[in-house]
Structure formats: structure tokens, C-alpha cells
Amino acid sequence: MRILLGVAGGIAAYKAALLLRLLKEAGHDVRVVPTRSALEFVGRPTWEALSGHPATPEVFEDVEHVPHVALGQGADLVVVAPATADLLSRAATGRADDLLTSTLLTVRCPVLLAPAMHTEMWDHAATRANVATLRDRGVHVMEPASGRLTGSDTGPGRLPEPADIAAAALALVTPGAAGAPVADAAAHGAAADDLADATDPAPQDLAGRHVVISAGGTREPIDPVRYLGNRSSGRQGYALARVARARGARVTLVAANVTLPDPSGVEVVAVESTAQLRGAVHHAAPDADVVVMAAAVADFRPARTAGHKLKKRADGVVEPLVLEPNPDVLAELTAARRPGQVVVGFAAETGDTDGDVLHHGRAKARRKGADLLAVNAVGAGLGFGTDDNAVTVLDASGEVVASAAGSKDAVAGALWDAVVRLL
């Protein structure tokens, strides 16, 4: 796929070099079109070495090929990162005073702008009006991340992480990232590169929907130092949030002990214990169209939490740790769901002498009663903490309705396809 990467003149321009590498490593042909001020931050040799193409801001270079028209006509996707307040203004008003803004007037492919600027500039009425104008024209403008800015100040205006920009951009044109089922492709032997070459627009089939997703793994305190926990990284839940946001949803993400950067445009509620996760999910669920319990929620907690660090006894004997069951949050959500609301659970299974992963998954699906249950094998390098995943999706009776394998974004897309069919 031919991608144009526009780079405007902000300090965050250095992050665009990583974005360029991510897109190149995904197998795409990327050409960088910097603004003149962008070259004050990162020079032409860097862009040209990483992309393998010339990187000029000038309309009057290589004029015999009419670059601003040729680049726009040949692009399958345009990403601008960072998109400064100045760039947003020039794009909104149709300016054509350099190669990047001239090219933006000629493209007919999806365009994604990733803003980066100080909070005051992002909140200014002129910037908000420019963003609204661009969105009305069909341009996809990400919400900036919140965090440390150029100086000592913090707030909204930080460039989203390159991986999030790449995922959002590819979701506009790539079925695997946007949510097309990957099970059929796998059955026909299709490679990931084949999926990356497709250019069908991403569906906006979650537009106007509110989805609540839990991610990560809960921790149950034993004492002020120790806790009971699990190996969940939260990557699958975060992928579900990214893909849902790309498909138009308003997303509330309840994150239990996750160290990943917050997905752009997603409301993140940080929690630690099962009790905190339960409260946050129940608070957000009443007006949600979909609730997805992707978090690894602890089944048990210590019956008593010590107020001080527990010590070894002099004789070396360890006092037994008494456990009690946690509330079954998924079962509660299923029992309380309103008409039309879809509840999705996850079942991380290992299999044992009583049955394999799917056997235990079917039993859990019938027991929990969720609309969908995504069953995946974990342990020995599977599921937790990996870049890839594989799930079998069951209905409430335990029947298989979908399956998917591949990147966690692709699996998320396939799961959202199954949800949309129910909606």
C-alpha cells in the first residue's frame, strides 16, 4: 500500500520517524512529505534514509512530474503526524502553500490527522472549529493524548503514540485492522501481507454506540507489599478499545494494572482490585450498548488483608493463606443487561484431565449466559503478554459462531464483527 506521511513542524516530529518505521515494517511503501518547519526538527537525510524516497516540502522540486498531483493521485492513505495547529488551519481553509497542503487538496483516499500542540492551542476556538470543519469533510482527526508536553506543563495535546496512530490509520483501509474476520482468510491460506494490501474502507458500524471494555489483570492485596495477581498484560483489551474507537464507538476502558499507553480518544478508568473493577464497570454499563469483559478478573481474594507486611515465623512455617471467592462480575452484568445490550466475556483456559480448552469454554458459556464468550488458550507463551492471539467465539449455548487468529487488533476486529451482527 502506498502511504503518504505528512510531518508538520512540531517537537513531536521526532516520533514520526518511529511511525514511519512501523508502517515500513508492516510492508507498506511510505513517502514522507515534511513542511519547511518540520525540517527544523528532523532533517531530510533522516526521512529519505528511512523511507527510501525524496522528502521535500517544495512544490517546485521535480516539477516535470507535478508532484502535488502525482502524489495525491497515487496514495492509498495519508497520515499527518504531528498535525500542528497551523497545519490544521491551513488544511481547513484549503491553503496550498507547500507540497503537503497542496497534496492534501488532490487526495481522494482516507486521510488521518494526528494533532500535537500545547493544551491552550488545542482548546482554542479556532482550532476546534478547524477540526470540526475537517471532520465534516470526512477527514479523520484523532484526539490528542494527554500527558507531558514540551515544557513542564501537562495536559491534552500530546501526540498519540506511534503504534496507536499506525493502528488507527491502517484501520481506515485494512480489513484485518478494521475488523474483517480473519478466520476465512486463514482458512484459505491468506498471509498477513495479503490483508495489508487490501484497501476497502473501514466500517463505521459502531458509530453512535457506547462500548465499555475491561482490560488487564486485577490484583488482590495480601498485605501492603504482596498481592495475588495474574499474567494479563491488557493488550487484547486495549486492541478492542482501539478498533472500536476506529469504527466510531465511544469507548470507556476500565484498565486493571496496565502499563500500556492510553489509546487515543478513549476514556480510561484505572483500577487495581476486582472490587474496584466491578464498581467501575457497573457504573459505566447502564448506558452502554456493549460491555466486553476482557480483563482477567481474580476468582479469589484473601479473606483478610494484613495492615502490615507479613513476616516469616521463627520456625519457618508459613501461615496458610485463606481465600474467599470474588463476585462474578460477568454473571452480574449478564443478569442485569437491558434489552438490546450485548455482553461479551472472555475465557482464558489451559485444558486439563477433565477436558480441553474448548470443552471448558463451552461449559463456561452455558454457565455465564453472556451473548458471546471468546475462548482462548493461555500459558507457555500463549495469550498473555504476546503480540498475537487466537480465539473461538461461542454463543450462550456453547455453539461456535466465529473464530480468529492473528494480531490482537485483527482478533479484536473479528470479535467486533460478531458483536455488530447481534446489534
* Residues tagged active-site: 230
Pairing, β 227-228 against β 220-221 = antiparallel
Q: Is the dihedral of CA 279, 396, 375, 162 positive or negative?
A: negative
Find, among 119, 103, 99, 121, the residue nearest to 111 by Cα.
Answer: 103
The radius of gyration of the chain's CA atoms, rounded to the nearest angstrom, is: 24
Q: Which grid cell is 168?
A: 488507527
CA 98/CA 71 separation, integer angstroms: 13
Strand order in the sheet with 29-34: 29-34, 2-7, 77-83, 111-115, 140-141
DSSP 203: P
- Residue 85: CB partners within 8 Å, gap ≥ 6? 115, 117, 121, 122, 124, 126, 127, 130
- Continuous H helices in 311-389: 329-336, 357-368
CA 339/CA 285 separation, integer angstroms: 13
CA 280/CA 303 separation, integer angstroms: 22
Find, among 121, 118, 122, 96, the residue nearest to 107 by Cα.
Answer: 96
CA 410/CA 400 separation, integer angstroms: 18
CA 129/CA 125 separation, integer angstroms: 6
String of b and e for 175-192 (b: at least 16 CB within 10 Å)?
A: bbbbbbbbbebbeeeeee
Quick one: which H or E segment has residue 239? helix 235-246
Q: Contact at 8 Å (CB) between 393 and 418?
A: yes
Q: Which residues is 31 bridged to in the sheet?
A: 4
Q: Which residues is 173 bridged to in the sheet?
A: none
Distances (CA, A) of 212 to 37, 250, 255: 41, 9, 11
